[in-house]
Structure 1
Amino acid sequence: MSRRRSRHSPDAGSAIGALLLIGLIGFRPFWQTVTNLALPWQIVAAVLIFSVAFVILWFLRLLIRHARQRSLLRKELYALTPAEFEERVLPLLKDLGWSHLRLRGGSGDRGVDLEGEFQGLRYIVQCKRYTKPVQPSMVRDLVGALHIQKADRALLVTTSSFTPQGYAEARDQAVELWDGTILEQKISEAARLREDPTRRQAVQRRRLATFITLVVINGLSVLSAFAIAGPPSSVPPTIRTAPTPPPESIAGSPLGRTASSLSLPTQAPPSEEPQPTAQPTPTAAPTERVVPTTTVVNGGNVRAAPNMRGTVLDQVHAGEIVELLGRSADGNWLYIRNPRGQVGWTHRTLLNLATGIDKRLEVVAP
């Protein structure tokens, strides 16, 4: 089978590329706003993004398919390339009531150009744009492909005809043969079906049902977010105060040593009278160290050791605030205290860590 050409026109590809570029430009500021919302509203935003992307892709798919069908319908069957003939057969089968149709032609297609379902049976289809009769060997190959693909039936479509031996090969086999005459009859039948108002209304009802389903899903997600988190509002980031160094560390720093070296000189006492003993200055108590905290984004286990073999001590749940007590040597595990007071190790992918926060934590030996 010849290698398949691209099924999308250059104009359609340019339009899709432009839409993707516009979407990427507008997506970043939108997503930055979403990440500052409470978790339920982030879920609502994700559902909305999925719905909009689904509608856009669905609309583009319809545009491309209709444009391609109009182009193919203008051509005579014999003017089509083999790849275009396969693409022409696909909408024909769809108009005739087939479903789950998919193109499979190309290198390594194992003799199958299309596959789909009709009246509850799975079909494989082979398309031959020939001017000469199809040889019996091709019918035999399709029978073999039918058993290999484990399909229910097979269909061989051609613009020409079949030899008597070809019909004999298909006899008593789950194989249907459409020659040029039958193909023309099927094209006329499909045209009549497309003009059927009942069929058109059924297609419109399916599209409307899909749209209503998306609206209902988005509405339910909004109601659920209101019930759980109230109106949408930004979640303020957790403020983490750096620990105040004790006075001893200040005295040992370069600044402390510089201050000591700049002491003013004292005058010699005018007499030999003993001087009073200087009282030591009380040392200020060190400021209590503020323990950094963070939010759990994915629920998981709290383990006794920083690895997957560690005993499970407790769990953390999405939305909980935990204290960061330290980290493992490789930085993949954080030593935390959950709201129930359980201390243990949890993996960093479960937590919403600020940039560089894990580097400021002390390494804790397991």
Structure 2
Amino acid sequence: MGLKILWPLWLLIFATVLIKILFHLWELRRLSKSGIKEIDQMDGLTFEKYLQSLFRNLGYRVERTAYIGDYGADLIVSKDGIRTVVQAKRYSGKVNIKAIQEVVASKAKYHCTEAMVVTNSYFTKPAIELAKANGVKLWDRDKLVNALLSIKKDTGLNDEINEIAVSEEQLADMDDNNACAICGKSVSEKVKQYCLSNPQRFGGKIYCYEHQKNK
């Protein structure tokens, strides 16, 4: 008698567990299709180039900012008369409040009406609160995945991603040293890639900001 009374409860528990398993499998398949796992392996510069292609495929006109002195802005995207400054954050941890402060400051510098921070991760609570107070749009991992899935079927984004990855590998093979060829000062990865991506000016060598002025 007791078993007859309890069987609906066991059925409900089984159905709940099954639904959770199916949802988990669906989410894994969805993430695999989005390419987010590949993004997690990118460095910061490659992620910027990836977003450049992504926004272009979303119908934006895209400008890359300078490699040096970008004032917290990586991309300027324009659509429907709205100019937005974008900061790209390829992080393994949560993006903190500093990213919001930087992109807010860069909005006036680049004459933009809106600001956005895009990450493959998530944001801290203080970062979310400051963004809300300053009207900064936040694209966390979930929103990025949704954007990727919305266009991947109908665009050549995958091919562009592969081209970006190949070019980055070629640049990395050219020089693994992050020191200025003149003074030996250590430079950031962004400065290094800027030098290596302009071989006609720098001859495949790396120079700090001060010594780039003489080239």
Are 2:36 and 2:145, in contact at CA under 8 Å, matched by a contact in 1? no
**Counterpart amino acid of residue 38 in structure 2:** E
Unaligned runs of at least 5 residues, structure 2: 1-34, 157-215
Are 1:105 and 1:114, in contact at CA under 8 Å, matched by a contact in 2? no
Are 2:36 and 2:120, in contact at CA under 8 Å, matched by a contact in 1? no
1:144 to partner: Cα distance: 1.3
Matches for 1:322-337 after TM superposition, within 5 Å = none
Structure 1 runs of 4+ with >3 Å offset: none
In the other structure, the counterpart of 2:76 is 115
Q: Which has the higher contact order (CA 8 A, sep 6+)?
A: 2
In the other structure, the counterpart of 2:54 is 92
Q: Does 1:187 align with 2:187?
A: no
In structure 1, C-alpha distance between the alignment counterparts of 2:60 and 2:96, rounded to whole Å: 27
Matches for 1:39-188 after TM superposition, within 5 Å = 76-99=38-61, 101-188=62-149
Q: TM-score, normalised by structure 1?
A: 0.32
In the other structure, the counterpart of 1:301 is none
In structure 1, C-alpha distance between the alignment counterparts of 2:88 and 2:66, rounded to whole Å: 9
Deviations 1:254-289 (A, max 9, x none): xxxxxxxxxxxxxxxxxxxxxxxxxxxxxxxxxxxx
Q: TM-score, normalised by structure 2?
A: 0.53
**Counterpart amino acid of residue 89 in structure 1:** L
SS where residue 171 of structure 1 aligns? helix
Aligned residues: 122
Are 2:71 and 2:102, in contact at CA under 8 Å, matched by a contact in 1? no
In the other structure, the counterpart of 2:6 is none
In the other structure, the counterpart of 1:207 is none
Say if 1:75 and 1:167 are closer, same or farther in 2 by CA, change over 3 A.
closer
Q: Which of the pair is proportionally richer in helix?
A: 2
C-alpha RMSD of the superposition: 2.0
SS where residue 115 of structure 1 aligns? strand
1:193 to partner: Cα distance: 4.3
Deviations 1:61-87 (A, max 9, x none): xxxxxxxxxxxx797001111110000
In structure 2, C-alpha distance between the alignment counterparts of 1:159 and 1:105, rounded to whole Å: 22
SS where residue 76 of structure 1 aligns? helix
- The structure with more radius of gyration: 1
In structure 1, C-alpha distance between the alignment counterparts of 2:66 and 2:152, rounded to whole Å: 25
